[in-house]
């Protein structure tokens, strides 16, 4: 018997009243938007820390919430949302076909063959994708939707991790550069004689170079 993917939560559909009881919140951390309330669902967008979010509601278990970011509509973890303490968050449920028809109609991955997998795979209830597709080895059996979704999910998660690591590295680099500039300006504003100012700047630059060499050394060890 075909099972329809549905989290029952108060008898309300997440797509039934798309403009009622919206709550304006902000992302407390950078994360991904998913096509359903589980990490296994396809990534449909990204949310950056501080982005404004329209929160349409959360599942009864309060783990996942249906939101709209500046770019996309999808589901994200409630722990990554900075809720207004005085606001009341609406309880919603999720129906795969209704939600995908409302927000992702026409996309390649919403075809019936793809939906069939998710109707039989209920995150938190059905076997994991690793059990449904235990091997990526071509010789382990015919290609299946479960294998493909598993591979795509892993690739998307790895790409997201790399992108966030690059952003974090860039931000740390900017912070270091700003700190170095502040220390050099402090030397120049110290009121010391020119020779003392030059000595101060040379010492700071030597210190910066030593720090950079240490970072490169530990990076190679990793």
Predicted confidence (pLDDT) per residue in 128-143, tens digit: 444 444 444 544 555 5
Per-residue confidence at 127, pLDDT binned at 50, 70, 90? Answer: very low
Q: Which secondary-structure segment (H or E) carries 199? A: helix 194-221
Residues 13 and 110 in one domain: yes
The model's pTM is 0.53
Give the end-to-end CA distance of the chain in Å, rounded to a whole number: 50
Residue 145 domain-assigned (yes or no): no
Please count the structural domains in the chain: 2
Is 137 a member of any domain? no
Question: Based on the domain organization, do 45 and 87 belong to the same domain?
Answer: yes
Report the CATH number that the domain containing residue 64 is assigned in CATH: 2.30.30.40
Looking at the structure, do residues 38 and 101 belong to the same domain, yes or no? yes
Q: Give the burial class of 94: count Cβ atoms within 10 A of its Cβ; 0-12 exposed, 13-18 middle, 19 or more buried.
A: buried
Mean pLDDT along residues 18-22: 50
| Separation between Cα atoms, residue 10 and residue 167, nearest integer Å | 39
Task: List the domain range (segments joined by +) for residue 50.
Answer: 6-126
Q: Using alpha carbons, select from 54, 89, 51 the residue that is nearest to residue 74.
A: 54
pLDDT reported for residue 110: 83
Residues 118, 70 within the same domain: yes
- One DSSP character per residue, 138-165 reads GGGS---HHHHHHHHHHHHHHHHHHHHH
125 in Cβ contact with 153 (< 8 Å): no
More confident residue, 220 or 178: 178
What is the C-alpha to C-alpha distance for residues 166 and 11, in angstroms, rounded to an integer? 42
Query: DSSP string covering 81-145, please?
Result: EE--TTPPPPB-BEEHHHHHHHHSTT-GGGSHHHHHHHHH--TTTSPPHHHHS----GGGS---H
Instruction: Assess if residue 53 is contained within a domain.
Output: yes
Tell me if 92 is assigned to some domain: yes
Q: Is residue 47 part of a domain?
A: yes
Tell me: the pLDDT tens digits for 57-114? 999 888 999 999 999 999 999 999 998 777 778 899 888 899 999 999 888 888 787 7
Asked if residue 173 is part of any domain, the answer here is yes
10 and 112 assigned to the same domain: yes
Among the candidates 126, 143, 168, a domain finishes at: 126
Domain boundary among 126, 145, 165: 126
Indicate if 118 and 192 belong to the same structural domain. Answer: no
């Amino acid at each position: 018997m075909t099972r329809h993917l549905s989290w029952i939560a108060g008898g309300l559909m997440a797509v039934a009243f798309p403009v009622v009881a919206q709550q304006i919140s902000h992302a407390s951390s950078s994360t991904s938007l998913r096509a359903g309330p589980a990490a296994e669902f396809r990534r449909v967008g990204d949310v950056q820390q501080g982005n404004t979010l329209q929160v349409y509601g959360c599942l009864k278990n309060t783990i996942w919430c249906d939101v709209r970011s500046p770019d996309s509509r999808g589901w994200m973890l409630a722990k990554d949302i900075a809720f207004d303490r005085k606001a009341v968050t609406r309880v919603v449920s999720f129906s795969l076909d209704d939600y995908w028809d409302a927000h992702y109609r026409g996309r390649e991955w919403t075809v019936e063959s793809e939906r069939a997998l998710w109707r039989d795979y209920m995150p938190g209830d059905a076997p994991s994708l690793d059990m449904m597709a235990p091997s990526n080895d071509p010789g382990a059996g015919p290609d299946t939707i479960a294998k493909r979704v598993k591979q795509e999910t892993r690739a998307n998660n790895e790409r997201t991790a790399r992108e966030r690591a690059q952003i974090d590295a860039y931000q740390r680099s900017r912070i270091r550069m700003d700190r170095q500039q502040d220390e050099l300006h402090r030397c120049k504003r110290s009121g010391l004689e020119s020779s003392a100012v030059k000595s101060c700047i040379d010492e700071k630059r030597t210190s910066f170079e030593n720090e950079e060499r240490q970072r490169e050394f530990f990076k190679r060890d990793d």
